[in-house]
Amino acid sequence: MLPPFLFDLDGTLADTLADIAASTNHVRSANGLPPLPGAVVRTFVGDGARTLLARALHEVLPPDGAARERALDRAFAAYAEHHQVQCTGHATLYPGALAHLRALHDQGHPLGVVTNKPERFAVPLVAHLGLGELVRVVLGGDSLPVKKPDPGPLHEALRRLGHRGPGATMVGDGVQDLRAGKAAGCRTIACLFGFGEATKLRAEGADHYWRAFGEPV
């Protein structure tokens, strides 16, 4: 078996920003806050939906720990109800992504998605994008007790793909992806076209960089 490729989802395989922003602004509206432009919401993405909401609602969240967590629980419930439908509203694969994944699959590389997006959104999104027959494993940010940058989800994805030993590759647009990949012993590819800041990705360091999907710098 050839070594696997693991991919982040938001900002790596697909442009999902419009849907994330729509659900984020739905929650902001419910809390009496004006909508944020997509460019701002983009900076909140990468560490999971709950952290995104903590960043998006910072003006109104209580400072106290317990009260803050209860407020985030309510915010996440509202976000989840909205995003369950919204998550596939406008999402599109980046140009070249489908062809690249098909080529890897046809060559015999097992493919997986490891994202910090909750699994309840990641699984239907992968199917909506037409990747269901190519991607054998989808792990979300709540699939395990830990999420990226912890290497645990990558280890679990590789285990489910039947891979042992070196040689796997992690592809992502965030420093979380690169840190998780390095910690898991994977080759890393940083996507400079995604939601993450290119300067931060270069400062973090990766084995390779893509200026567009599958296109090395």
| One domain, residues 78 and 97 | no
pLDDT tens string, the chain, 217 residues long: the values are 899 999 999 999 999 999 999 999 999 999 999 999 999 999 999 999 999 999 999 999 998 889 999 999 999 999 999 999 999 999 999 999 999 999 999 999 999 999 999 999 999 999 999 999 999 999 999 999 999 999 999 999 999 999 988 899 999 999 999 999 999 999 999 999 999 999 999 999 999 999 999 999 9
pTM across the whole model = 0.94
The residue from 8, 15, 19, 177 that is catalytic is 8
Domain harbouring 55, CATH code: 1.10.150
The domain total for the chain is: 2
| One domain, residues 206 and 104 | yes
Q: What is the pLDDT of residue 164?
A: 87
| One domain, residues 23 and 100 | no
Q: Which of 177, 173, 126 is nearest to 148 (CA)?
A: 177
Spatial strand order in the sheet of 208-212: 137-139, 111-114, 5-7, 169-172, 187-191, 208-212, 215-216
| One domain, residues 60 and 103 | no
Asked about 177 being catalytic, the answer comes back as no
